[in-house]
Amino acid sequence: MKAYATKLIDVTERHAEEIARNWYEDVRKNARTTSYRKFNPEDAIRQAVEFYRSFRGLFFTEKPYEAAEKYFRRYAEDRYRDGVPLDEAIYALVLMRRHMWLYAEFQVTFQTAVEHHQAAENLNRTILMFDYAVNVISREYQYLVREEIDRELGALQSIRMDEPSRNSFKTGVIGALFLGIAFLTYYSHAVIGSGIIFTHLFYIPIILGAIWWRKKGILIAAALGAWLILSHIMFLAGAPLIEDVIRSVMFIVIGTVVALLSEGLVKAETLYGVEVH
């Protein structure tokens, strides 16, 4: 059986570049691998040539999974850096396998019924190797996505302070900001008699509350908006209320948007297994 496998591999290695060019024409036109259209043709063909020339070592190794893991982890890293989606990276590999066998059939490499039978048996080992490849590539892509999320959102994860030990600190910060803004509003309305206050300061506890407590944090925006309207009614009864009503609505809108974004990021981290700091 090994002789027939060697025959297939010999043909593949000897005609690696030709098979790779056939593969590239297929992958470039295929609707399932559109990201390959942006590749430089020679760079793409080099990928397939490298695979075909590595096939012998992958096929005959005594430790197929270890060999597959080493080779296909690198394949996954390279395709991820190239911006190839996971489904396209796997399907491009499937097409490499298909073109290898199509070329062998076209060259009438297996001429007798016995040879075809032996070739089919060897195909089983090839399929097993590609099963390993799918497993390794999928796992590596997931790891790379987790790593990228962790890197890109590292600052936000630090701000979120999800550790239970930081709950008292977060409550203290929001409480202090709330009291400071409440006093500023009172001072502006009751003492100065002006409806002009620095409402952009309100967004600090609103945004922090939405990041820290997500949907529950919207209550902070609602409470600040209610205090702004109440203070206006108590101390600025003769002034139009509409502007502060609009501001209060915007507090809730901003708080809701930030809360939903924060909740979405947590779900994404959970989906990809990113450790929440």
- CATH number of residue 17's parent domain: 1.10.490
Which one has a higher pLDDT value, 91 or 188? 91
**Whether residue 137 is found in the same domain as residue 17:** yes
**Whether residue 23 is found in the same domain as residue 142:** yes
pLDDT at 155: 65
**Whether residue 79 is found in the same domain as residue 144:** yes
**Whether residue 107 is found in the same domain as residue 183:** no
* Model confidence band, residue 193 (pLDDT cutoffs 50, 70, 90): confident
Which of 2-11, 54-63, 124-133, 151-160 is the least confident region? Answer: 2-11
**Whether residue 211 is found in the same domain as residue 238:** yes
Inter-axis angle of helices 113-152 and 2-14, to 10 degrees? 60
Are 24 and 41 in contact by the 8 Å Cβ rule? The answer is yes
pLDDT tens digits for 7-37?
777 888 889 999 999 999 999 999 999 999 9
pLDDT at 270: 72
Count of structural domains, the chain = 2
**Which of 152, 168, 189 is at the close of a domain?**
152
Distance CA 201, CA 181 (A): 7
**Whether residue 27 is found in the same domain as residue 116:** yes
**Count of CB atoms situated within 10 Å of the CB of 135:** 14
pLDDT tens digits for 55-102?
888 888 888 889 999 999 999 999 999 999 999 999 999 999 889 888
Tell me the residue range of the domain where 229 lies: 155-271
**Whether residue 98 is found in the same domain as residue 169:** no
DSSP state of 274: P
* Model confidence band, residue 114 (pLDDT cutoffs 50, 70, 90): very low
What's the rounded mean pLDDT across residues 131-151? 87
Look at the block and give the residue holding tokens 């090839």.
126
**Which of 152, 171, 189 is at the close of a domain?**
152
In a domain, 54, yes or no: yes
Q: Compute and round to an integer the Cα radius of gyration of the chain.
A: 31
pLDDT at 154: 66
In a domain, 277, yes or no: no
Distance CA 227, CA 229 (A): 5
178 three-class SS: helix
pLDDT at 122: 61
* Model confidence band, residue 277 (pLDDT cutoffs 50, 70, 90): very low
**Whether residue 14 is found in the same domain as residue 147:** yes
Inter-axis angle of helices 218-235 and 242-271, to 10 degrees? 170
**Which of 101, 130, 152 is at the close of a domain?**
152
In a domain, 107, yes or no: yes
Are 219 and 181 in contact by the 8 Å Cβ rule? The answer is no
Are 93 and 54 in contact by the 8 Å Cβ rule? The answer is no
In a domain, 276, yes or no: no
